[in-house]
Amino acid sequence: MLAKFWMILTAVMVLTSPVIADEIKIASWNIQQFGQTKAGINKSKNEKTKARTEYHKTNDTIGKIAAIIKQGKFDIIAIQEVQDAKFETLPALSAALGADWEYIESERTGREKKEQYAIFFNPLKLTPKDKIHLYDDMEDSWDHFSRDPGYASFSYRGFAFILITCHLDPDTHAAYETERLDDVYEAVKRKTGNPNIFVLGDFNLEEGPTDIAFRDEGLLDAEKYPKMKAVLDATHDTTVAGENDETTYDNILFDSGQFELKAKGVYRFDAEFGEGYDKAISDHYPVWALFEIPDVEGADAAPFAPPAPSLVKIKPSTWAALRSLNR
């Protein structure tokens, strides 16, 4: 009797669980000047800094950032422009997000203002290989990037993929740096031996993927990378209202031969949450994409159990299958 019960329960779970197991929702977000002040934990005695810190503490900016990430229902999100020499901001965000999230981080990088990259992820679904590594472009004795891009490896049920995250120079060098992202892409592919790579972040090009820097020599060069696509086209504005109009700074690039794009968007948190969710949080919106991951059948056991079914939503055909088990 007990064995029959488990057979029925297993059948219900398999037949009624939503078919989302092999999809990953990837996001990228430049959280403008994300440091101790915005986290509300800056101990500086400078009067202006104290006032700004108190503002963000009173308005619970760190809690709102966590709410945006959670409400977006991302599986993994790369964060740019973390500015904290004491490495205290990311633990504060991690505490605000709670136990359902974990993160990895990079070392600080930058010629002048130092920044970090962070990647927060769902540990029940994804497993990181280690930390975020910085791309070292000094092998050819020329420093091409104001802030070295970072890259990190993750696995999902035995399927390994890589995120390359970047924050390109916002002033005069964004186009120059964009044209050299293919060097980063190729170097990471050689170093890891893994072609399953997403390139994402803040590219700081107003025209976005239509910019000649992407299309002439960059990762959207149709001759060199015929299957490389940008998730968002130039009609998507990724900057918060009041800052810039019709600028596609942020994006996610992917190999359409490796991954199928199922959905995409700009997560407009001001429209989603309303009052209090504005450009004081960031001047950029998160951008996201839902990808179908290649067949992972035969991979290691799934890292999480299927969700418990709602019996009231079981289809008649499912009940028929269960009745046949009980005969």
pLDDT digits (tens, 9 = 90+) for 239-297: 997 555 668 999 999 999 989 999 999 999 999 999 999 999 999 999 999 999 876 65
Q: How many degrees, rounded to 5, is the angle at CA 251 between CA 35 and CA 155?
A: 80
* pLDDT tier for residue 158 given thresholds of 50, 70 and 90: confident
User: Which homologous superfamily does the CATH classification assign to the domain defined by 23-320?
Assistant: Endonuclease/exonuclease/phosphatase (3.60.10.10)
Runs of H (alpha helix) within 72-139: 89-97
Q: What is the pTM of this model?
A: 0.84
pLDDT tens-place string over residues 282-317: 999 999 999 998 766 544 433 333 333 333 333 434
Among 129, 138, 164, 171, which Cα is nearest to 149's?
164
Name the E strands within the chain: 23-34, 76-82, 102-105, 116-121, 127-128, 133-134, 150-156, 159-167, 197-202, 228-230, 250-255, 260-266, 287-292
39-68: average pLDDT: 96
- In the chain, the percentage of residues whose pLDDT exceeds 70 is 80
